[in-house]
Amino acid sequence: MTAALAFDGVSAAYRARDVLVDVSFLIEPGERVAIIGPNGAGKSSLLRAMTGSLRPRAGSVRLGGDPLAHLDRQAIARRLSVVPQAAALPYAARVEEVVGLGRLPHEDPLRGQRPVDRIVVAAAIERVGIGALVGRDVRELSLGERQLVLIALALAQAAPLMALDEPTVHLDLRHQVETMELLVDLNERDGTTIVAVLHDLGLAGHFFPRLILLDQGAIVADGPPDDVLADGRIRQVYGVDPAFVRRSGPLVPA
């Protein structure tokens, strides 16, 4: 079986600063993985290396078996959808129009969306549960609603792998939990492979069976939450008492 995503010895740098150091991991189709680590650990860089917007200086990234460097933007977009932390929302745009943008990699370049595209968009809206928001201007939505719109957009992209950049960062507790539950549902029911960059160790540990912990651009630990969130590691990587981490999160791993 081809790995959904494979990093093989990836190193990358912004200007002179190393942001990824010899990063290697495999994500199989159907997995649900959270990337965690302190600020500046390289989580976002890892995401950008996945999408191809950060080019590695060494190593290779393979998406669905093919090296990223051999795929054009459209092929990448058909295999990987990205939910950004905060997307700039267009003015005068309605929810269904924004979700419809997810069909861009599949559209007929001349005729635009066909009936099948509209069906996929409607299904994505339904799946995320934002049918009530149809017709609303996206700029009138709350942050939680906007997050759901962006997830629906990524869903409409119909890519086997979905990456999310801190999907809960602006949300209140209830919306954090609902978003996480949605991701779990998408993963377990639809088989969408999910890679989420998460800040919150509690959420990560509770909802993700596999965590990858980054520190200073390198993978420190990769495995189930009990293993990755071991007290010694938290103290070493975050430099704080693990009790704080547990208390700061809303949910502590059981």
Partner 1 sequence: MATRAEAGLVQPVVAGWLDRARSRPGLLFAGLVVVLSAALVLGVGFGTVSIAPVDTLGILVHRLLGLNLGGHWTAAAETIVFEIRLPRVLSAMVVGVGLSVAGATFQGLLRNPLADPYVLGTASGAALGAAIGILIPIRIALFEFGLVQLFAFIGALLAVGVVYRISRTGALSPLTGLLLTGYAVGSLLAAGLALTMYVSGTNLRQIFFFLLGGFDGSSWLQLAGTAPLILGGSVLIMLRAGPLNGFLLGEETAGNLGVDVRRERVILLGLGSLVTAAAVSVAGLVGFVGLVVPHLVRLVVGPNARRVLPISALLGASLMVGADLLARVLGEIPVGVVTAVIGAPFFLVLLRQTRSAYEL
List of residues contacting partner 1 (CB under 8 A): 51-53, 72-78, 80-82, 84, 87-94, 97-98, 100-102, 104-105, 107, 109-110, 112, 137, 139-140, 157
Closer to partner 1 by CB, 107 or 222: give it.
107
- The residue ranges of DSSP E strands in the chain, in sequence order, are 5-14, 17-27, 32-36, 58-63, 66-67, 80-83, 161-165, 193-197, 210-215, 218-223
Least spacing, CB of residue 140 vs partner 1, in Å: 5
Q: Is 55 strand, coil or helix?
A: coil
Closer to partner 1 by CB, 138 or 237: give it.
138
Closer to partner 1 by CB, 51 or 187: give it.
51
Three-class HEC string of 82-138: EECCCCCCCCCCEHHHHHHHHHHHHCECCCECCHHHHHHHHHHHHHHCCHHHCCCEH
Closer to partner 1 by CB, 74 or 248: give it.
74
Closer to partner 1 by CB, 157 or 193: give it.
157
Least spacing, CB of residue 82 vs partner 1, in Å: 4
Least spacing, CB of residue 68 vs partner 1, in Å: 13
Query: Token digits for 47?
Result: 């995401």
Least spacing, CB of residue 151 vs partner 1, in Å: 13
Contacts of residue 60, defined as CB under 8 A and 6 or more positions apart, other chains included, come to 8, 9, 10, 67, 68, 69
Least spacing, CB of residue 236 vs partner 1, in Å: 33
Query: Token digits for 227?
Result: 């293993």
